[in-house]
Structure formats: structure tokens, C-alpha cells
Structure 1
Amino acid sequence: MHFKTFVRIFILSILIISCKDQYFEEGIVSILPNPNTIETSEDYFVLNSDTGINSNSQFSISTDFLKSYIKSGSGFNLKKGDEIRFSKNDTLEAESYNLQISKNEIKIEASTDQGAFYAIQSFRQLLPTSFEDGTFKNSEVKIKALTIKDKPQFPYRGMHLDVGRHMFSVDFIKKYIDALAMLKMNTFHWHLTEDQGWRIEIKKYPELQEVAAYRDQTLIGHYSDQPHQFDGEKYGGFYTQEEVKEIVAYAQERFVTIIPEIEMPGHSQAAIAAYPELGCTGEQVEVAQKWGVFEEIYCTKDETFDFLENVLDEVLELFPSKYIHIGGDEALKTRWKLCNQCQIRIKNQRLKDEHELQNYFISRMEQYLNSKGRQIIGWDEILEGGLAPNATVMSWRGTNGAIEAAKAGHNVVMTPTSHCYFDYYQSENDDEPLSIGGFLPLEKVYSFNPIPDELTVEESKFVLGAQGNIWTEYMPTEDQVEYMAFPRILAMSEVLWSNSKSKNYENFVARVEYFHERLDVLDINYANHLYEIEGNMTSEKGKSFYELKTLSKNKSMRYTIDGTEPSSNSTMYSEKIPISESTVVKAQVFDGDQKQGNTFIQDIKYHKAVGAKITIDKAPHKAYAGSGTEGLVNGISGNDKRYGDKEWLGFWGEDIEITIDLVEEKEITTIKTRFHNGNGQWIYAPKKIMLEFTLDDGTKVTDKVAINNHKEVITNFDYNFITPEDLNIKVKLIKLIVPNYGTIPDGKQGAGNKAWTFIDEIIVN
């Protein structure tokens, strides 16, 4: 048990002993995700050992859950009676519910057991958190009288978990499912096979368990760290079919559908290591020991399809879900191009190229699954070469795949990296655990709109919903999975369930802060960045200021600009801080004299372009717009690891032209900037930059600089503006022309796609 949870329980015990009528969190109504409507009154319902329940077999799961939850939480054994009543209301949609709590009764209305179950999840959050672990010891509890009318915005509300890179215990998988159910999420996307490990027992192919489930060692540190180092320890395991059945049944009792993912045709190196004949070369390969995308791919010969159909036959027996996820992403075509059998397949099927061969592969597997009464869902690469007839697209590479699929009349699940990848960093703190990269804070998840603006009202009906994704390359422990999931999963649950018109981030944060206590009691390891400070550089009438803000209510911010640590005696923040030179701002949230959260530190490098007029001929990608174009000359550099933070600007596949108007002619000597070069995330530094300077006399000077260093994750650009010593040359305008890297080459992640360009602060001195 966490220490702060112990303190809360101890205080509660004292209150109960000292005052019989003192009730824990009496009258608090704070529910996640936020219900559509809540109306409260002054009355209270009293729950105790005399409370009765009246239900029927139509609501057996929800009734049993409620009775079990209350008994284990408080010891109250609900008897037969009319105080808590379940009522069938066929006018409500399948997952909708009405919850009415009055002085004398609790009434739950729903048309289905699932709707009633969600009513209970809301009711659960009105009870003391001590119900979660059975430490509630009072003889009764008061519950605020209210009426809730609630329904979800989207039918697909999901979370994903990759167990191929790192796998987790059956108990943890159940705990994960419990969290989904509590937040009214109805889909668990279970990523079961990968290059680094095959995690599901297939009885017909024992080598999958004996060979494909284990790798000889695992990469240490980040993939970008060179040279690569390994731990030298064998790693792996798999879920037996009995364990899978147990987990599926557990999820069904919580109205969570499990969609299994069996990757094909790429991300299949582990399976090919077990059965080399499935690959194009027939040569023995090893289960992958590091992360990334590999050239090994299922060959398109008939024997491969026989294998996959046999595997899927066993998968279908275990999972009753409508959908089977077949992956389809990041399938490098190198082996297919060199494979005689694949080229014969292309010729015999009258296909144009390897992209159409992927469409053939996916369509053939879809036809087989359709014959078994199932549907396929796959990552948006299944659009390549044409979309299989009945496929549902899971759009991860931005929203373009979703738009294309929806316009063609295909169902879509939104999961773009920009808002849904919970393996990205969630804070700019340097002590955050190692992650793949990127930056996805809680507020950005909450701001997500699953309906792309480009879709019409009719087309938007094909958007089923969205899900958060947890890829586990850098999450070896269950605690770390929870840390990366929470509280971002709370934001995703509200994006998908609650009415988008009523979204309010400050209100959401207040409910998250209150919800932390429930997470403590549930022993869920969450990230707490609610007391963090955000800083922004602004310019007004040629002067620069630094602005601080925090979402913490009823607390103060104190700051220093002399390098010392903020204390309760430091300057209290009340207005923007003037900035006219390089400065280190340190700030802290205080509750009285007590520090809250981490110290905020911002290093501001004041230079000659700070506050200048800057324009870019292309708009940054809306998912990576940072703090806007002006952010490139605000004196603040982006984080070395989090290319998605507010200081980096991202452009996808576009050449860009940046113009900096210094307003006043200035002598300059250097121009510096940085490009992110995280090839694993499809990000490439440019190969060259063209520069153009407009001097004070109107003369234009041009230059071109090649960028040769593409080995580091951060590529620095340093340019010296050389002028004769005896001439007083001043510059009025600076123009940087940055060509996009181009198409990602074969053998690399994202091969064949346009590269991203990410640019940081442009420093002029």
C-alpha cells in the first residue's frame, strides 16, 4: 500500500471513531469519464447492511458485479429488496443508462446488461475509495442523490497492449482489463505476435512455443544509442490456450471485447525463426533481439497461407470477437522483390507490383476470415495496393488513411501517433523513464477529436471510435506500463465516451486529481504531472516576456531568475516576466509553504532573432505545430528526446521556406538550428539547406550548405556568416530553404513513405 493511501485511511478511521455521522467525501460527485448529464439534489441515499436489491436475469452480470463489489468493499451483503432496483428500458441504446439516486432508492435503467454495468461503474465512483480494497469499516455510507443520463459518443472505445516486445502476467492482463471496464472502454486490442516474440500457444505448430516465443537477448538502452548493447539474457514466454480462455472469459464478464492481433505479412521474424520455410529465402534466422522493422516477411507461397489459416483456426476458437487484427503495417518488400515465388505470384495474379501483392495477401486472408464469419481489421498500410473489400482500417500514420478509407465507405478506428501513442514521453522532465521518443502530454490526448475535419457528416459515420496504443519496447515492467497508460487513458476514455461539446480540460484535471486516490487504492502506478508549470515566450511591441501558468487550483507559483531554487520566499508569480537577456527561469507550485510537483526549469537563450517577424510558406502539420511559427525564434530550444514538444515544428514530406525579418538591420555572425533525425519514427534531417540574406542596401547574398551527418538523432546546423573585417554589413532578412529529405529508402522503417522534417529554434547571433 502506498504511504499516502495509508495516511488517508488512518485519518478516515479517526473520523469514524470520533464522529459517527462523519462520512467520507460526503456529497462529492466526480466521475470519469464525465457523464452526459448530471443533476444533483440535497438528499442522500444511505447504503448499509439492510439495503436490498431487486434485479432479474437480464442484468445478471451487472447485478453480480455490484453485489460482489459492495460486499468485498464494505462487508454489506445486499439482501433481496427494493432499495436498489434494475429496470429494463428498451428506449435506451445498448450501452446507455439512466442512474437515479433518491433518498429512498437507487434505480438503474438500461436496455442491456452492458448499459447497466456502465451505470454501476459511475455509481462505484460515488462510493468511498476504501471500497476498492475492502478497508471501509463504517456501518453505513451516504451517497449524494442525483440523476445521470448517459451514453457513449463512439461504439469503439479501446486500449491496445503489445506483449511481443515485453510480456506481462495473466494477473496484470486482468488488472488492465479491469481498468478499461471501470472507464467504460469496451475493447482490448491484444498485440500477440512480433519480430521479438510470439506470445500465443498454437498446438499445431509447437516450434512457435519452443523457438518463436524466446529471444536470446534484449537491447539495452535506446535503439538510437550507438553502438547497440545487449543484456545477454534469454527472454520470452507465451500464453497457453487455457490462459487465453481464462482472460477472454474474464473480459466478457466486464463487457470488454478482446481483439487478437496476429501480425502479417511483416513483423513476422519470430515465426520465420521457428519455421524458416515461411520466409522467402528458407534460411534460418533468429528471433529479433532489437527493435525496429526487419526485412523478414511471410512469403506469398501457398504453404504460408496454409500455415496462417491453421494458426487462425486455433485463434478463432479462443476469441469470439467479430474482428481479428492482421497487422499489415511496416511490411518491407525487399524479400518479395528478390523472391522468385513472389514474382511468379505477381505475374499469375496480374498484379502491378509488390504493393498490390500486399493487397492480394491481405484480401486472401480477409476472404478466409470472412468465410469463418469474422472481419479483419488492420493498420492503415492495408490500404496499399487497394483496400480489401470488407476491411476496417486502424489509422495510425496520421489521419490520411482514415480519410481515404471512410470516403471509400470503410469503417475506421482512429489511433494516430500524434494523440494516441502512449509510448511517447508525457512530460518534459529529465527524470522521465526512457521512451521511444515523441511527446504526448495529457492535455493533447484530451484535445483529440476522432472525427477528421475533412470528412462530411455522412462520411464521419464510418469512424467507429479510437484507441490508445501501448508499444512496449521500452516498458519491461508492469509498473512502467501503468505509468505510461495513466492518466492518459483517463483522457482517452473521456474523448470516446463523453459529449465533446461539454469537454473542459480544467474540469477534467480537477476530476483526475480526485481520481488519483482511487488509483492509489487500486495500486495503479500513475504519472502525476498535474502540478507542473507551463511556460511560454511572448513578444509585445518589440519586447519579450515569459509567461507561467499551471492548472493547479488554489495554489501559488513562485519563481527565480538568478539560478537559485524557488522557495516559499521567492517572488510570487503575478504577471509576465520581462526578458531582455539570456536567463534561466526556475518556478515551483506551492500549496502554502509546501512544494508541489517538480521544479520547472527553462533555459532561455536570448539572440538577435528573438521576437523577429517570421513566416513559413507551409503550415506545420497540425499534429506537430509546436508553439507556432514564432516558436522558432523565441529563444527556447526543443527537448533532445521529445521531438513532439512545443518547440519542435514538424512537416510531412514538404519543402519549406522560412523567412526571418529582423525588423532592424543587424550585424550577424552565425546561424544555428537543429533537425531531429529519428529514423525509427520516419524523421530525417534534410540533405542540404539554401540560405538567402537581404542586406541593408537591398543586396541579396545566397549560399548552399550540405548536411552530411545523418548518424545522430539530433543533427546540428551551424553556419558562419563571413564578412570582410573592414565592412560594416548588416542584414535585414534571412531566408532558409529546407528541402524535405524525400522518400524513405528501402530497408528502413516507413520505406516508400514521405519523410518527416522536424526543425528546432533558429538561433541568430
Structure 2
Amino acid sequence: MHIKKSLCLFILLLLIISCEKEPAQIIQPQIIPLPNSVEIIDSFFTIDESTGITYDDDLKVSALFLKDFIESGSPIHLKEGNEIQFKLDNNLKPEAYVLTVSKDGMTIKASTDQGAFYAVQSLRQLMPVGLENDTFLENEITVQALIVKDEPQFSYRGMHLDVARHMFSVDFIKKYIDALSMLKINTFHWHLTDDQGWRIEIKKYPKLQEVSAYRNQTLVGHYSDQPHQFDGKRYGGYYTQEEVKDVVQYAKARFVTVIPEIEMPGHAQAAIAAYPELGCTDEPVEVAKKWGVFEEIYCPNQKTFAFLEDVLDEVLELFPSKYIHIGGDEAPKTRWKNCAHCQDLIKKESLKDEHHLQSYFITKMEKYLNSKGRQIIGWDEILEGGLAPNATVMSWRGTSGAVEAAKSGHNVVMTPTSHCYFDYYQSENEDEPLAIGGFLPLEKVYDFNPIPKELTIEESKYVLGAQGNIWTEYIPNEKHLEYMAFPRMLALSEVVWSQPEHKNYKDFVSRLENFHLRLDALDINYANHLYEIEGDLISEDGKSYYELKTLTEGKSICYTLDGSEPTFNSKVYDSKIPITESSTIKAAVFNEEKQLGKTFTQNINYHKAVGAKITIDKQPHKAYSGSGAEGLINGISGSDSRYGDKEWLGFWGEDIEVTIDLGKKTEINSFEVRFYESNGQWIYLPDKVIVTYVDDENNFSNDMRVEFSKPFFEDTERTKKINLECIVFESGNSCKTRYIKIKVKNYGTIPEGKQGAGNKAWTFIDEIIVN
């Protein structure tokens, strides 16, 4: 009996041990944006039905947000108790927090509810993703023990959304705001009016709802496609004042400030369509049905100022934000130049020209808003003609506007096209959804430094932060919008929140791969380019090699050189590939089970200039530096549809001279060079191109000089035969030469009536092919 009893107890003990849970493994936090300091503790805290929560009244919003997040996403209901505590700590900065998790409980310390709310957003990312969509069915939540000390780098952390070109539902706007708050982005810039639609109800002016909110039809395809085609469908709508109040209140509960944008003096065609007396001609116009810049502009008369003051009075009642965005960008002066009233006003006010008239206009509106206790913020064109006294500048045309404003003591928000325009293409894949142009990959967003190097430490204090912009000319629906915003919005959140010395792109990619699960749970569409391949042709000691790499680790790259599709059985990439002839490389990323992502394809044209020496007498613009001068002769052509990839070099308003040294006298049969044309993005073909062949004694004759000028470029039949985007030149004769010199004369100033009128044109140059 004693033996049997002992045996039964032993079996029972084994059963008890076998039923115990596996010990929890230490979990490395995957928080985005990256906190300032994270200390991991070898322990865990468990949230279950016995867990209680208490909070200081000043931290009530964030505490209840956490309570609702847990209870709505799981079967667990928190009671009153001290296991989870929200404590006020006035020693911390307004948006800072300290999150402590131990085996006995969790404590969040902050000096404001906003700081505590950001602690909750970090804590949220330590919890199972099933809580996001009510699919977590367990009765307890295990949280890694740690100490997080955190605060933002910048006070202004923004995302923009244009609803004038395409409108989005109130429910989607709230979803967008939810995403901002999760990433600790504290400002939503709502672009409500433009040439193509007026989207906010103004009760004193009902025609803004009846006329300005609707366009008769919309451009189909890209603006660059000729001839323009339209869908023939009426499009539009507007947000009622009650809907606006609802959105603003919703954002406030998530510590997101909504800044409205009411465009002036340009981008006003929709308003003028309803009230022609606001323009300079009094002639009727229609709400714009295509994209671009239009000459209709508010006339700076008493009717206009009274209208705008009335509009702003209603706007101010709806938006409690410190800032009101007044646009100020892309305002053609043609109407003003031909307007007797405008010319008389210039003389009366002793203004220099129409640019100073715009400054007069902006200053007048600023004074009105200042009298109401508000401040203006505008695009960097408001610098032209003199900056209004208290204005804040949103610098989008590069960083020069920011530098000028900061050096004169004005606050700045950085949003340059080069790093912050999320309506640009983000991949070189040809099947990417239609976009306005450009190329802004995830890594470039992540590498952005909002502090221009031209500023001193003292001047850099005027840089409030940065903002991502989403213009919606080519974004007609919500899923497309999310695809453009994510994951670039995540990269920007880390730019503006995290300390630069802590940033690491490889680490970010690892955290992003994990974050994709949370985006899936939240039903947020996103662009997943993590498993794509990047390639580069490099030259070493007169030999050429091709390098392949991918963002994520722990995977294999398999490739072919003959254009066939890569498989598990293809050659595995382990070192740079020697290139001795023209090839078509195809490669893909594989894990143990399957191919991840799309197949990468690169055609290499191994022409006679590949690996030669090349110089350019000007540096390309830092925003569009491509692969440098060597990229012009690396055998790889850039995209036909986007100008910002690593093959295109951009020069703003400059003439350039390119010299290629083939190393010895070489017979060449043809010569080609490509330029990009996209007038809507201020990119024009050159005014003139001169190609000169020079022998190794540095001699040349007129027979070895070829010149192309505007008549050549304007030959539409030739253009169509080659490519609408790219122009090709051929010498037509063989010759022997060592040096090739290419002089490229910039187009010059963009003419009136065109987008960017009055600004210098861009020149974009691509592969130079020597056969």
C-alpha cells in the first residue's frame, strides 16, 4: 500500500509539473518611434481579472484609454486597485513620461495627460496585437518588465492630408488621427480648400457648399499624359460644421491638434467659381477639373478681405488651434499684373512689385488673425516680398526657406519635397499605383535631419519640427492613401520623436517588420517593400561588379544573369557579381519556405563608358543626387516615370558641363543621353545641349561638335517616337575620341501660367550611353 501510494503521488507530481506553463522568454521591445531609454528587467507582469487601475485625475484621459484598450480587446475587465498606477510627476517635461513595469505592477509617471498618453502608446506596443481588433481571447496578458524613459526631440510632429482634390469620410479621418496618435504625432494639418474643391461649410456663404464644393469632372490618368482625358462625373462634397467639430474633439481626446488650411491668395479658383467678384476679372470660372496651378487668384480688394475675414471667423469657432494655415504657395501674379486696382494698390502702398503685394496681402490677414489671438503658418512662398511679422514658415521647396526664416528669427516647420512628400513613389517597381512623380523610399524618409546644417545651434531652436505631406491628386480612395502613408509615416515619427544618436535604420526595419502585424490587425493598408532587393553597379580597378542587398536579415537572395526567374535552386548571392557584358539580373528573397516579395529585375547595358572617369562641374542638388556622377555611366537607366530614383541627377536652375574620360582614344558609333520632362513638377528639358568629342591630345574640330536646342526639343513628332519622358540623341557618325564633353544649358525661368511660374526650372539627367 505504501509503495502504491508513493507511486500515485509521484505520478500526480509529474502531471502537475507537466501542466505548468513554459517560462516566459525575455521580449525585446519593438516600439515605434524608438524611446530615448529602455532598460529590460528579467521579469514579467501579468494583467488578469485581479488587476486593478488607479489614476490621478489630471491623467484621467490616458488611464481610461488604456482601460478601454484592454477591456475592448480582451475578456479582461480591470477593477479599482494599485497594480496599474498613473502618477503625476511635475518634474517631467510636458510630453515626457516614465513607464515602469515590474513583476508586481506597472506605473506611468507624467506631468501632463499628454505625456501619460504617450506612455500608453508605448505600452500598447508591448501587448499582443490581438488587442487591436478584439481577437485576443486569453484571460491574461503578459508584459515584459522594463523601465522606459522618454520624451520627444521636436515639439511639432505633423502629418498633412489634402481633402480638396479627393475627399475622405469622417470615419476615415478619425482612423487617420488614431494612427497619428499611436505614433505620437501631435498635429493634423487638414488642407480644406483648393482650386478643385472647397470642403468646409461656411454658413454665411452658401455658394461655397453649392458651387465650390463640386467639380463637373476629374482628370483621368496623369497630368503629363496628353491630350488630357476626363471621367465626365461630377465629384465633390464638404464637411459640415458639426462634422468638423466632431473631428476636432475626437483629435483633442487623442492629443492631436488639428490645423485647418484655408488657401490664399492663390489656389482660390473654387471659391471664385462661386463668387466671381473675389477675382480680378469678375468673369465666371468653373471649379478646376484637372490638377496644377491656375491663374485665378483673390483680388486684394475690400470685398475679398471682408469675405476672408468672415470665413476665418467661422473657421476660428471650429478650430481652437494656435495656428491657422493660410497657404500662400503657388500664387501666379498674371491677374494682378493686368488688374488696374492691383497696380494702383502697389503704387498707393509704395510696394515694389506683385511679390510685395502678396506680402501685403498675407500681412493684412496675419494682423486680422493676430487680433483674434491666433498666428499664421504658411508655405515658404510667404517669404517672398518680405515675411509677415509673426508668421511661421512651412518649408517645402527644399531647406533654403527654412534657413532664411530661422536666421531672421521666425519659427519653421520642415516639410521638404525631398524627404516629406508621401504622394511620391516609394518603390521603383513598375506596378506601383499612380503617383504625382518623384521617388521617396522609406530609408530616405528615415535619414531626414530636420535641422539644416546652415543653422547655428541658436538658430536651430526656431525649427519646431517636421511634417509629412499627402497631396491627393492621384489618391482617389482610402486604401491607396494608406498605402502611400504607411510605412513612411512610421519612419517620420521616429525622425521627429527619437534622438538622432539612437536612430539605426536596420533596427528600425526589424521593428517595422514586427509592426506590420499591428497594421494588419488595425486593417491599415501599407506598402511592404522590406523583402525587395536593391542593386548597385560598382567599378573597381577597371572592372565592374554588381552588388545585391535586402533590408531584412536571416533570408537568402537567389539570382540569375540570363533573365530567367530565380528559384530555390538558383545561385545564392554571397559576394559581388562580376559583370563583363550586358546582362539581365533577376533576383528574389527567400526564406526556408517560399519567395518573399517581388522579383527584382535589372537590365545592365555594358557600354563603352561604364567604368570610365566622369566629372561634373556642379554638384547635383542634395535632394536629388542620385548615385553621383558615376551613376551617369553605370549602365543602368533610371525610371521613365519617376525622377527621384538613384539614377536621376537633379540640378536646379544651373547650367552644367559633364566630361567623360574613356582612358584612351576609342572608336564610338553612337552617343545617347536622357533628360526627364515633367513641367508639373517644374522639370523642363534643357534650353540647349552641346556635345563635343575631344581626342587624347585635347584637340577637337567642328565636325566633332553636335548642338541641340529648343527647336529639337519642341519637335513633338520626334519626342513621341522616342519617349514622352526621355529624349535620346545620336551622333550618327563613328569617330575616335578619348573625351566626351556635354554642356547642358538650363531651361531658365518657368513662364507665367505654368506651375512654379517665376521659379528656376529643374534639369534632370540620366544615363549617358556610349556605344
TM-score normalised by L of structure 1: 0.96
In the superposition, relative to structure 1, how do residues 384 and 245 fare at CA in structure 2: closer, same or farther (>3 Å)?
Answer: same
| Amino acid of the structure 2 residue aligned with 1:717 | V
Q: Distance in 2 between matches of 1:524 and 1:277?
A: 44
**Aligned residue runs from structure 1 range 709-748, under 5 A:** 709-710=713-714, 713-720=724-731, 722=733, 729-748=735-754
C-alpha separation in 2, matches of 1:168 and 1:547: 43
Partner deviation per Cα, 1:278-317 (whole Å, 9 max, x = no partner): 0100011000000000000000111100000000000000
How far, CA to CA, are the matches of 2:523 and 2:221 in structure 1? 27
Aligned partner letter, 1:244: V
SS state of the match for residue 658, structure 1? strand
Deviation (angstroms), 1:23: 9.3
Counterpart of 1:483 in structure 2 is 483
Q: Which amino acid aligns with 1:210?
A: E
Matches within 5 A, 1:443-592: 443-592=443-592
Q: Structure 1 residues 262 and 250, CA, compared in 2 at 3 Å: closer, same or farther?
A: same
Aligned-pair CA distance for 1:697:
4.4
Deviations 1:79-132 (A, max 9, x none): 111111111111111000000000101010111000000000000000000000
Secondary structure of the 1:180 match is helix
Q: Render the CA deviation track for 1:487-534: whole Å, top value 9, x for unaligned.
A: 000000000000101110000000000000000000000000000000
- SS in structure 2 opposite 1:286? coil
CA deviations 1:159-188 (Å, max 9, x no partner) are 000000000000000000000000000000
Asked if structure 1 preserves the Cα contact closer than 8 Å seen for 2:75 and 2:138, the reply is no
* Distance change in 2, residues 1:124/1:639 (3 Å): same
Once the two structures are superposed, residues 572-591 of structure 1 have per-residue CA deviations (whole angstroms, 9 ceiling, x without a partner) of 00111111111100000000
Once the two structures are superposed, what CA deviation does each residue of 1:380-422 show, in whole Å capped at 9, x if it has no partner?
Answer: 0000100000000000000000000000000000000000000
Normalising by structure 2, what TM-score? 0.95
Query: What is the CA distance between 1:22 and its match in structure 2?
Result: 6.3
Q: What residue ranges of structure 2 are gaps of 5+ in the alignment?
A: 1-17
Alignment of 1:704 onto 2:707: yes
Hey, what does 1:119 align to over in structure 2? 119
Q: Secondary structure in 2 aligned to 1:650?
A: strand
Alpha-carbon distance between aligned partners in 1 of 2:284 and 2:640, rounded to the nearest angstrom? 39
Which whole-Å deviations, capped at 9, do the CAs of 1:720-764 have from their partners, x for residues lacking one? 1535xxxxx521111111111111111111111111110000001
Q: Is the 8 A contact 2:75 2:139 kept in 1?
A: no
1:758 equivalenced with 2:764 (yes/no): yes
The one-letter code matched in structure 2 to 1:585 is I
- Mind listing any 5+ residue stretches in structure 1 that lack a counterpart? 1-17, 724-728
Structure-1 separation of matches of 2:424 and 2:80: 49
Q: Is the 8 A contact 1:330 1:381 kept in 2?
A: yes
1:629-666 per-position Cα deviation (integer Å, ceiling 9, x unaligned): 10000000000111000000011111111010001211
Equivalent residue number for residue 267 of structure 2: 267
What RMSD over aligned residues (CA atoms) do the two structures have, in Å? 1.3
Equivalence for 1:667: 667
Structure 1 segments, 4+ long, off by >6 Å, are 22-26
Deviation string 1:41-81 (CA, Å, 9 cap, x unpaired) is 11000111111111121011101111111110113221111
Partners of 1:60 and 1:108 lie apart in 2 by 12
* Contact 1:194–1:270 (8 Å) recurs in 2: yes
> Partner of 1:457: helix, strand, or coil?
coil
Question: Which residue of structure 1 aligns with residue 58 of structure 2?
Answer: 58
Amino acid corresponding to residue 730 of structure 1 in structure 2: K
Q: CA deviation at 1:39?
A: 0.5
Distance 2:422 2:551 in 1: 22
Give the drift of 1:714. 1.6
Q: Indicate the SS of the match to 2:432.
A: coil
Q: 1:344 to 1:514 in 2, by over 3 A?
A: same
Q: Which residue of 2 aligns with 1:8?
A: none
The offset of 1:28, in angstroms, is 4.1
User: What amino acid is aligned across from residue 438 of structure 1 in structure 2?
Assistant: G
> Are the aligned partners of 1:36 and 1:150 in contact in 2 as well (CA < 8 Å)?
yes
Aligned 8 A contact 1:212 1:287 in 2: yes
Q: Which moved more, 1:703-712 or 1:566-575?
A: 703-712
**Higher deviation after alignment, 693-702 or 574-583:** 693-702
Would the aligned equivalents of 1:25 and 1:128 in 2 still touch at CA under 8 Å? Answer: no
Distance 2:423 2:337 in 1: 33
Residue 525 of structure 1 aligns to a residue whose secondary structure is coil
| Alpha-carbon distance in structure 2 between the residues aligned to 1:579 and 1:751 | 45
Distance 2:226 2:319 in 1: 41
**Total equivalences in the alignment:** 743
Residue pair 2:533, 2:549 contacting (<8 A) in 1 also = yes
Q: How far 1:33 sits from its partner (Å)? A: 0.3
Alignment of 1:177-576 (within 5 A): 177-576=177-576
Which region of structure 1 is more displaced relative to structure 2, 665-674 or 200-209? 665-674
- Residues in 1 aligned to 2:19 and 2:658: alpha-carbon distance in whole angstroms: 68
Which residue identity does 1:511 align to in structure 2? R
1:621 and 1:698 map into 2 onto residues whose CA distance is 30
Instruction: Give how far 1:345 is off.
Output: 1.1
CA distance in 1, matches of 2:155, 2:76: 35
- Does the 8 A contact of 1:23 with 1:141 survive in 2? no
- Secondary structure at 2:458 match in 1: helix
Report Cα offsets for 1:310-348 as digits up to 9, x if no partner: 000000000000000000000000000001111111111
From the superposition, tell whether residues 24 and 636 of structure 1 become closer, same or farther in structure 2 (CA, over 3 Å).
farther
Question: Given that residues 674 and 760 in structure 1 are in contact (C-alpha distance below 8 angstroms), is that contact kept between their aligned partners in structure 2?
Answer: yes
* Whole-Å separation in 2 of the counterparts to 1:99 and 1:355: 52
Distance in 2 (CA, whole Å) between partners of 1:253 and 1:481 is: 24
Q: What fraction of aligned residue pairs are identical, expressed as a percent?
A: 67
- Measured at CA, do residues 138 and 28 of structure 1 come closer, stay the same or move farther in structure 2, by a change above 3 Å? farther
Question: Residue 8 of structure 2 aligns with which residue?
Answer: none
Kindly indicate whether the alpha-carbon contact (under 8 Å) linking 2:688 and 2:746 is maintained by their aligned counterparts in 1: no
C-alpha distance in 2 between matches for 1:87 and 1:655: 62
In 2: Cα distance, 1:62 partner to 1:693 partner? 70
Q: Residue 26 of structure 1: CA displacement?
A: 6.8
Aligned counterparts of 2:470 and 2:198: Cα–Cα separation in 1:
17
Is the partner of 2:134 in helix, strand or coil? coil
Structure 1 position 461, deviation (Å): 0.4
**How far apart are the structure 2 equivalents of 1:632 and 1:593?**
39
Counterpart residue type for residue 324 of structure 2:
I
Distance 1:290 1:91 in 2: 54
1:568–1:593 Cα contact (<8 Å) kept: no
After superposition, residues 596-611 of structure 1 pair within 5 angstroms as 596-611=596-611
Is the partner of 1:717 in helix, strand or coil?
coil
Partner of 2:146: 146
Work out the CA distance in 2 between the residues paired with 1:730 and 1:480: 52
CA displacement at 1:693 relative to structure 2: 1.8
CA distance in 2 between partners of 1:555 and 1:19 (Å) = 36
Q: 1:468 to 1:521 in 2, by over 3 A?
A: same
Structure 1 partner of 2:136: 136
CA distance in 2, matches of 1:495, 1:457: 18
